[in-house]
């Protein structure tokens, strides 16, 4: 059976600062999976994410999330979004932040503490967020976004600044959430993270150049190395265009 799509994008065109940055993107992101959005800096990852969470003005095209137009009021509680800039209160402790976000969902201390544990921040739970390292702060944001188990969780470069052990733990957590039915879209410009995804969307200069499983991307490019595969797919496109 074909898995249902949680996010569907058709002919999406976005202009920023009078420059076209997404050129007619079309893709479908299956429900209950971890999809990696990978591409170089400036390729349009954050812009695409902004369109999915409904905060980006689009020139044309459609973005449908859980069967509704992106940005619909009903999606607010069902879609979690972690931006690159931490979105937690610096003058509250990690625990106070988590409990505050839990209260918005009618949840309590138990769920808040579990989310803190899930991102490996239990030891820092009493610290003010303003006193944390950058990597710890972004994990605090992630914990708050995971509370309430949204149906769709969109994470913009969530593993930047994390050490390799924590990165592996976080990816484990992403897959556990997907196993429970959450659809995750995780952006990264680190190709090493691509192998950890169920599916990949490779984006370059505002165009999708691959939308498949890591294994299929490797096979299409004829290499086991995903970074090399990305380069080969770019070259293939350039040859076709020439």
Ligand X SMILES: Nc1ncnc2c1ncn2[C@@H]1O[C@H](COP(=O)(O)OP(=O)(O)OP(=O)(O)O)[C@@H](O)[C@H]1O
Contact footprint for ligand X (CB under 6 A):
16-17, 21, 39, 41-47, 189
- Judge whether 208 and 27 are in contact, CB under 8 Å: yes
Q: How far is the CB of 189 from ligand X (least distance, A)?
A: 5
Residue nearest to ligand X (CB): 17
Q: How far is the CB of 204 from ligand X (least distance, A)?
A: 9
Residue 188 CB coordination number (10 Å): 22
Residue 44: C-alpha distances to residues 66, 70, 103, 213, 242 (Å): 22, 17, 34, 20, 23
Render 162-223 in DSSP notation, one character per residue.
--HHHHHHHHHHHHHHHHTT-EEEEEES-GGGGGG-SEEEEEETTEEEEEE-HHHHHHHHT-
Question: Which of residues 47 and 97 has its CB atom nearest to ligand X in the complex?
Answer: 47
Closest CA to 197 of 209, 208, 211: 211
Question: Which of residues 44 and 214 has its CB atom nearest to ligand X in the complex?
Answer: 44
Query: How far is the C-alpha of 40 from the C-alpha of 203, rounded, in Å?
Result: 8
Q: Length of the chain in residues, anyone?
A: 242
Question: Which of residues 52 and 102 has its CB atom nearest to ligand X in the complex?
Answer: 52
Question: Which of residues 57 and 242 has its CB atom nearest to ligand X in the complex?
Answer: 57
Q: How far is the CB of 43 from ligand X (least distance, A)?
A: 4
Question: Which of residues 45 and 139 has its CB atom nearest to ligand X in the complex?
Answer: 45
Q: How far is the CB of 155 from ligand X (least distance, A)?
A: 13
Question: Which of residues 21 and 129 has its CB atom nearest to ligand X in the complex?
Answer: 21
Q: How far is the CB of 77 from ligand X (least distance, A)?
A: 25
Q: How far is the CB of 44 from ligand X (least distance, A)?
A: 4
> Please, how many CA atoms are within 13 Å of residue 108, restricted to the half-sphere of its CB?
1
Q: Can you list the alpha helix ranges (DSSP code H) found in the chain? A: 45-53, 94-104, 109-118, 134-146, 164-179, 214-221, 226-241
């Amino acid at each position: 059976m074909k898995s249902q799509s949680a996010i569907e994008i058709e002919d999406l065109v976005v202009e920023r600062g009078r420059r076209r940055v997404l050129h007619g993107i079309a893709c479908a992101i299956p429900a209950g999976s971890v999809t990696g959005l990978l591409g170089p800096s400036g390729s349009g990852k954050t812009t695409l994410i902004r369109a999915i969470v409904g905060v980006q003005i689009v020139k044309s095209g459609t973005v449908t999330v859980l069967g509704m137009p992106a940005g619909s009021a009903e999606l607010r509680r069902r879609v979690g979004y972690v931006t690159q800039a931490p979105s937690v209160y610096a003058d509250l402790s990690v625990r106070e932040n988590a409990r505050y976000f839990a209260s918005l969902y009618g949840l309590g201390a138990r769920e808040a503490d579990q989310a803190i544990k899930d991102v490996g921040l239990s030891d820092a739970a009493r610290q003010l967020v303003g006193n944390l390292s950058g990597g710890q702060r972004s994990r605090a944001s992630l914990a708050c976004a995971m509370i309430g188990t949204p149906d769709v969780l969109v994470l913009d470069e969530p593993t930047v600044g994390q050490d390799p052990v924590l990165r592996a733990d976080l990816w484990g957590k992403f897959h556990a959430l997907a196993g429970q039915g959450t659809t995750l879209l995780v952006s990264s410009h680190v190709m090493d993270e691509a192998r950890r995804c169920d599916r990949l969307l490779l984006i370059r200069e505002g165009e999708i150049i691959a939308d498949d499983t890591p294994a299929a991307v490797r096979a299409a490019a004829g290499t086991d190395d995903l970074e090399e595969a990305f380069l080969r797919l770019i070259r293939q496109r350039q040859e076709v265009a020439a």
